[in-house]
Structure 1
Amino acid sequence: MGTSPDVPPSGVAAPVETAPIGLRAIANAYGDYTRKSFEETRCFVEQLTVVRSPDKAMKLQTEFARQAYETFVAESQKIYELHSKLARQALGPWQGFVARTTETGVESPDVTRRK
């Protein structure tokens, strides 16, 4: 009973194919973050204009700062991941070369060493 080379043996997960990441996906992520940030700021200003007491204004401002920080961290992580995937894609062909070179023990020539 032979198995096809395209089908992994049972119990072994097949490699996950990921869609290529491009600059457009990164630009879209930045655009999404900008829109989200703008919308949060707009809502904050609308709420702040109707507040009558300084205590409520401080509470509203504190909540806005917390929410803005959480959004910034979450969106920054998404953008970082996209940049990381793009870099791995760009370096993909070189990673195989480096792995093969280190496995075979091929060293770079040392110009200063003479026989």
Structure 2
Amino acid sequence: MINGFEDFQKLGKENMDQAMKSFGSFNKGFQVLATEMADYSKKSLEDGASTFEKLMSAKSLDKAFEIQTDYVKSSYEGFVAQATKVGELYADLAKDAYKPFEGAVAKATK
């Protein structure tokens, strides 16, 4: 009976260690995501302000349309690139958070 209890305690400790490692991975991943999103937001606001300044100094309607078109195109391309990057970061986050449990899952499926 004591052996069973010690085994149960050992299993509980291993599971807690795995959960803490997984939590650490989530924490690190979300910090990376938050930093990435803050940087993107800052750049987006700066680009918008710069474009507004260019629009205000445009000498003709054609030049204003050209500035606006360039801004929309670059904003869209930047958004798509950022969405792809964030998707990759989430996938990496999920992989890193699962790693501590790989051994337990392998043991359970044998």
Normalised by the length of structure 1, the TM-score is 0.63
- Report the Cα distance in structure 1 between the residues aligned to 2:102 and 2:73, rounded to whole angstroms: 41
Q: How many residues align?
A: 84
Write the mapping of 1:44-83 to structure 2, written as runs, cut at 5 A: 44-83=51-90
| AA of the residue aligned to 2:41 | T
Match of 2:45 in 1: 38
What is the CA RMSD across the aligned residues, in angstroms? 1.9
- Larger RCO (CA under 8 A, 6+ residues apart): 2
CA offset at residue 93 of structure 1? 3.2
* Higher share of residues assigned helix: 2
Deviations 1:9-37 (A, max 9, x none): xxxxxxxxxxx542111100000100110
> Identity of aligned pairs, percent?
37
- What runs of 5+ residues in structure 2 fail to find an aligned partner? 1-24
**Secondary structure of 2:62's partner?**
helix
4+ residue runs of structure 1 moved beyond 2 angstroms? 93-102
Q: Does 1:24 align with 2:35?
A: no
**In 1, Cα distance between the equivalents of 2:106 and 2:69?**
51
Q: TM-score, normalised on structure 2?
A: 0.65
Q: Deviations over 1:42-73 (max 9, x none)?
A: 11000000112111111111100011011111
What is the distance in 2 between the residues matched to 1:54 and 1:96?
A: 65
- Cα distance in 2 for partners of 1:48, 1:33 equals 22
Paired residue for 1:89, among 81, 96, 109?
A: 96
